[in-house]
Amino acid sequence: MENIDPTASHTDESIVVVPSQTLSSDEFNLLRSVSIKVVRHLGIVGQCNIQFSLNPLCIEYYIIKVNACLIRSSALALKATGYSLGYITAKLALGMNLVDLKNLKSVEVMTISKSFDEAFQKCLRMVDQNFTGFDSYARTITDNEISALTDVNVFILATAFHQGYTIERFYQLTQIDRWFLYQFQAIIQFLVHRFNSSIIQDRALLKQNVWVFLINKLPIPQIKHFD
């Protein structure tokens, strides 16, 4: 699993990709070997999750968190119900009353697809029925908005790509890996160029191109938005 955002962001507030897309074979094997050593050292039996912070410029890493999950059903129940069983049971064990505990209101979405682009667009549509995909705002944004970690950061990135921000400028402001930035840029470039009637005059050919691209990247609501 790989977080798109850098370590400064909380993992629960970042987009997670499975499998990891930017790790080299050496980096993957390094983290795998360290994980096995940690599990054996702590004597963990069963499921375990270890979170790392990896420097992309050199072989330097930090262990952020080790979660020893003794049962699998809690994770499955959390996905199905949105009820944080681990959090609740820990508080009950400390002597708190169930009626006094507040359940978290935030939720997450998860999609499965054959490409990152398609899975990414599906996730955005699942967050809110008014979202058609990787859409931009009809306003000018600033560098501070791009570097800030907010709940609308994804749409800030889309807007910045429309404004002409380069990959390198994005990387300097966000530290998001260039591989992900290129995927975001590809979606925006298609929306900008392919739906421009001055580029493809033949509307039948345009729709043919649209549906071919739809299979790989764009969701249906976003296609209709430009039809």
**Helices 178-193/167-174 angle, 10° precision:** 130
pLDDT tops 90 at residue 31: yes
pLDDT tops 60 at residue 8: yes
Which of 160, 133, 164 lies closest to 148 in space, CA to CA? 160
Q: How far apart are CA 202 and CA 210, in angstroms?
A: 12
Per-residue pLDDT, averaged over 188-217, amounts to 61
Q: How far apart are CA 178 and CA 38, in angstroms?
A: 30
pLDDT tops 70 at residue 101: yes
Q: Which of 21-30, 92-101, 102-111, 146-155 has the lowest mean pLDDT?
A: 102-111
Q: What is the pLDDT of residue 83?
A: 63
Q: Mapped to the 3 state alphabet, what secondary structure does the chain carry?
A: CEECCCCCCCHHHCCEECCCCCCCHHHHHHHHHHHHHHHHHHCCCCEEEEEEEEECCCCEEEEEEEEEECCCHHHHHHHHHCCCHHHHHHHHHCCCCHHHCCCCCCCCCCCCCCCHHHHHHHHHHHHCCCCCCCCCCCCCCCHHHHHCCCCCHHHHHHHHHHHCCCHHHHHHHHCCCHHHHHHHHHHHHHHHHCCCCCCCCCHHHHHHHHHHHHHHCCCHHHHHHHC
Q: Which residues is 49 bridged to in the sheet? A: 67
Mean pLDDT of the chain: 77
Q: What is the pLDDT of residue 169?
A: 92
pLDDT tops 80 at residue 144: yes
Q: What is the pLDDT of residue 104?
A: 54
Q: How far apart are CA 164 and CA 155, in angstroms?
A: 14
pLDDT tops 90 at residue 33: yes
pLDDT tops 90 at residue 188: no
Q: Which of 17-21, 75-79, 121-125, 216-220 has the lowest mean pLDDT?
A: 216-220
pLDDT tops 70 at residue 219: no
40 or 89: which leads in pLDDT: 40
Q: What is the pLDDT of residue 82?
A: 61
Fold of 116-226: Carbamoyl Phosphate Synthetase; Chain A, domain 4 (1.10.1030)
Domain positions in the chain: 1-70, 71-108, 116-226
pLDDT tops 90 at residue 133: no
Q: How far apart are CA 132 and CA 178, in angstroms?
A: 24
Q: What is the pLDDT of residue 91?
A: 82
Band (30; pLDDT cuts 50, 70, 90): very high
Per-residue pLDDT, averaged over 46-74, amounts to 78
